[in-house]
Structure formats: C-alpha cells, structure tokens
C-alpha cells in the first residue's frame, strides 16, 4: 500500500462538478492499494498516517499529529501510485490491486481512520476526480507499507 500525504490548510475533491469531500486543516491522503496488500499493510498505513507528526507545535517544530491538532483527513483513492514507469514512457499498472478488492481496502482504510476518531472525507473510488488543495508548508510525505521508501 502506498500513500502520498500532504499537510493542508484546506482541500476538496469533486466529481462532475459536485464536491464529494472537503476538509479544513488536516491531511490530504492519496492512497494506492497494491497486489498482495492485506491487513498488515492497512494497519501500518492507518497507524502511520494518524500518528504522523507533521503539524507545528508551540515552538514551530513538526511535533503534532492530525489527532492532536483536531484536523481531518481527505482520503482519495489513486491506483496510479503503483504505476511503474521504469521502461518506456507509458506507465504499467500491473502492480495495482484489482478494482473490486482495492475498493474494499480503501473503504476499510476510511472506516479505520474514523474509528481512531478522525473525521474523514472521501472522493469517489474509480471516478475521475478534481482535487484542489492548499499544501501547508509545503509538507508532502511518501509512505509505502513495505517500506521501499
């Protein structure tokens, strides 16, 4: 499982001009589910993202999590995070999980974030989405449940 996590002052996602999810201060999470991802990968991502200390404390240091600042998460599914562009110019997506299972994993991620007590807005799985965000910092973190990076 892979994620691009951005600290934002606000973000929203729209499908066909209709806003499906929006947040103020929090994390915009682009989440990609790969072949072979399971409960361990899901646990890792939920724990890591909800506990990621990327928000400023009273001294201006990144020492606070989204939970500690009362922020929200906007979770957007993105299979292209498993794109492989090492050969040629057109990426291959053979390492992305098939859509039905990936959608179930995405929804389980959202449910687990909510269980932690964080408000979680979403896009629409598999839809063409327009995502708007104000990246605060900017702060952008790459995560991989297999710890490739």
CATH of residue 67's domain is 3.50.80.10
146 within domain boundaries: no
What is the rounded average pLDDT of the residues 62-80? 97
Structure confidence at residue 62 (pLDDT): 97
pLDDT at 71 over 90: yes
Helix count and strand count (H, E) for the chain? 2, 8
**How confident is the model at residue 39, as a pLDDT?**
97
Count: domains in the chain: 1
Confidence bin at 147 (pLDDT 50/70/90): confident
State how far the Cα of 68 lies from the Cα of 13, in Å rounded to an integer: 24
| Tens-digit pLDDT profile for residues 5-42 | 999 999 999 999 999 999 999 999 999 999 999 999 99
Question: What is the structure's pLDDT at 23?
Answer: 98
In a domain? residue 9: yes
Q: What are phi and psi of 30, to 5 degrees?
A: -90, 120
Return the active site residues: 78-80
User: Taking 80 as the threshold, does the pLDDT of residue 149 lie above it?
Assistant: no
Region 61-76: what's the mean pLDDT? Answer: 98
Residues 6 or more apart in contact with residue 44 via CB below 8 angstroms: 1, 145
Checking 15-21 for CB contacts under 8 A at 24+ apart, the result is: 15/123, 15/124, 15/127, 15/128, 15/129, 15/130, 20/121, 20/122, 20/123, 20/124, 20/129, 21/74, 21/75, 21/121, 21/122, 21/123
Evaluate whether residue 45 is within a structural domain.
yes
Q: Is residue 148 part of a domain?
A: no
Residue 65 counted as domain residue? yes
Summarised one tens digit per residue, pLDDT across range 89-131 is 999 999 999 999 999 999 999 999 999 999 999 999 999 999 9
Between the alpha carbon of residue 88 and those of residues 50, 51, 67, 91, the distances in Å are 37, 38, 42, 8
Identify the domain containing residue 51 by its residue range: 2-141
Average pLDDT over residues 50-69: 97
């Amino acid at each position: 499982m892979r994620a691009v996590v951005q600290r934002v002052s606000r973000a929203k996602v729209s499908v066909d001009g209709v806003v499906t999810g929006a947040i103020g201060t929090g994390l915009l999470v682009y989440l990609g589910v790969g072949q072979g991802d399971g409960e361990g990968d899901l646990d890792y991502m939920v724990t890591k993202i909800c506990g990621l200390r990327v928000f400023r404390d009273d001294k201006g240091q990144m020492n606070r999590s989204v939970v500690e600042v009362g922020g929200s998460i906007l979770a957007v599914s993105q299979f292209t995070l498993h794109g492989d562009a090492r050969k040629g110019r057109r990426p291959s997506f053979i390492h992305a999980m098939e859509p039905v299972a990936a959608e179930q994993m995405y929804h389980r991620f959202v449910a687990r974030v909510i269980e932690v007590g964080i408000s979680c807005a979403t896009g629409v799985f598999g839809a063409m989405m327009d995502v708007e965000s104000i990246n605060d910092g900017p702060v952008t973190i790459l995560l991989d449940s297999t710890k490739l990076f």
